[in-house]
Structure formats: C-alpha cells, structure tokens
Amino acid sequence: MSTPPTSDNVAHALAGAGGGILSMALTYPLITLSTRAQVESARARTTLLAAIRHIIAREGALGLYSGLSSALFGISVTNFVYYYWYEFSRAFFLRTSPRPTLSTLQSILAGLLAGSATVVLTNPIWVVNTRVTTGKGQGAVGTLLALLRDEGPTALFSGVVPALVLVMNPILQYTLFEQLKNAVERRRGRVTPGMAFVLGAVGKLFATGVTYPYITVKSQMHVRGAAGRREGVVEALRRVVREEGWGGLYKGIGPKLTQSVLTAALLFAFKDALYAQSVRLRAVAARRKALA
C-alpha cells in the first residue's frame, strides 16, 4: 500500500476560508441579484440591467452589497468547517486505500460528511444573511435579534432540509473537480492555479445547474417565516410550480450561475496559494513555540 502525502486539515480549512472570503467579496453583487430574484414574485421579475438600476435608484450602489458582512462571516465559517471535515475524511480514506487518489465513491462520501456537518452548523448564518440581502432585515445583529424575538430559535433552521439536499452541490462540484484534477495530473503533472480555475468553474457550472431549484426554495423558506408563513420543501416546490410554472424554480439562475462559477474558480485558484502560505506560517509558528 502506498503512503499518501500528509495533509494539514487546519491549513486547508484556513485556505478555504480565505479563498471563500476573497472570491465572495469580488462577486457579491451577483449574489444580491440572484437572491432577490429567487424570493420575489413573478410580477416583480425583471431583466438583470433593470434590477441593477432599480437597486441603485432605491438604495444606492451599496444596495448591491446588502448583507456583505454577514455573508463574508458566513462563507469563512462555512468553508473552514467544510474543508476541515473534507480533508479529515479524505485523509482517512487515503490511509485505508491502496490507491494514491480518492475513488469517485470516496470523494462523494467525503463531501457528504463535510457538507452535512457544514449545513447544520451554519444554516442560522445564511437565514440571517438572506433576510438582510433581500431587504427583509436591518443589519445582521438586528435581524438575528428580531428573528429570535418574533419567530423563535427554530426559525434559524428554516430551509435546512433543502440545504441538506444541496449538500449534493459541493459533492458534485468537488467530485468532478477531483476526477478532472487527477486526470490532468496523470497527463500533465502538477495542476497550476490557472488550470484549477478552469476545473473549478466546470465543476461548479455542472453542480449549480443540477441543484438550482433547491437553491430557490431554500432562499424563499429563509424569508417566508418573517411573513408568518412556514412550509416544507415539497410544499414549496409545488407552490412555485403552481404559481409560476417550472421556470419559477430557476429564477435568478443567470447571475447565480455566473457568480457560482466565478466564485468556485477564484476559490480554487486562491486556495492552493493560500494553503501553501498557511502551511509555511503554521510551520514558523510551531518552530517559534518549540524555541520559546
């Protein structure tokens, strides 16, 4: 059995968190546009340029960044938890496998474990963020306090079921990325940040296209509690199809696909560089601690 290369879970987690922050900050206006499109009625639907003009006219240019602070906090926690558990699971499978790389099934299982843990721990952050982004809250702290006062702690887990279904999004994304990366490494050697950018974009494009209806209903479930309406995921899917047709499940998919692909591509491009830097910094810190 070959010995797999060692992996620093914390360094991977820190790199994932840092890469997530950088990539989200660069693409956040697209998140605002897609999230608002997901929760608005069919009557309010408009073109992308008209939506941008409407937000700027009502809220100024900063309206495109509504909820940015909570989103950056959310993505840092989400990515840290996800990458920590993904690398932990990945290392476990590699230690018990005769192969030097993960199989497709092992990639899926590692993603499932990491994604499920991440959803449960971070869903409250994204409920608050969705409400702030869509203008149904006043700042992250104020929105959180109002939500707890008016709806109770269970409201923080609105949309957790479709969020668990959406665990398949990163599983599909990272499984495809891993397999493409392995194929490239076999043929061309080391994957460069530029190549990682392309492979990350391909993986995210496929995953988001497949799972988008659940992204739509998750966003709607995050905000419907504020209006005194609660519903399950199947009921939400049926309501959207009944009221708006099948196209209603894909509201805002244009900016969301653009944002998701750019975010994933930038994340993978940033992550390798940030991982190497994290390993160096942690090694320096360990040496200093040993000498102290």
The pLDDT tens digits for 68-119 are 988 999 999 998 998 888 888 888 888 887 877 778 788 788 888 888 989 9
Q: What angle do CA 283, 284, 287 make, to 5 degrees?
A: 85
Judge residue 229's burial from the number of C-beta atoms within 10 Å of its C-beta, 0-12 exposed, 13-18 middle, 19 or more buried.
exposed
- pLDDT bin (cut points 50, 70, 90) of residue 29 is very high
The pLDDT tens digits for 131-164 are 888 877 678 889 899 889 988 998 899 889 888 8
The pLDDT tens digits for 229-258 are 677 888 888 988 998 888 888 888 888 888
Other residues' Cβ atoms within 10 Å of the Cβ of residue 50: 10
The DSSP secondary structure of 240-277, one letter per residue, reads: HHHHH-GGGGGTTHHHHHHHHHHHHHHHHHHHHHHHHH
Q: Is the pLDDT of residue 2 over 50?
A: no
The pLDDT tens digits for 158-194 are 889 888 888 888 778 877 888 888 888 888 888 887 8
Q: Which residues contact 47 (CB under 8 A, 6 or more apart)?
A: none
Q: Is the pLDDT of residue 6 over 60?
A: no
Question: Locate tokens 């991977």: which residue?
Answer: 12
Task: Read off the DSSP letter of residue 131.
Answer: H
Architecture of domain 9-291: Alpha/alpha barrel (1.50)
**What pTM was estimated for this model as a whole?**
0.71
**Of residues 225 and 189, which shows the higher confidence score?**
189
Q: What is the residue type of 212?
A: Y
Q: Is the pLDDT of residue 55 over 80?
A: yes
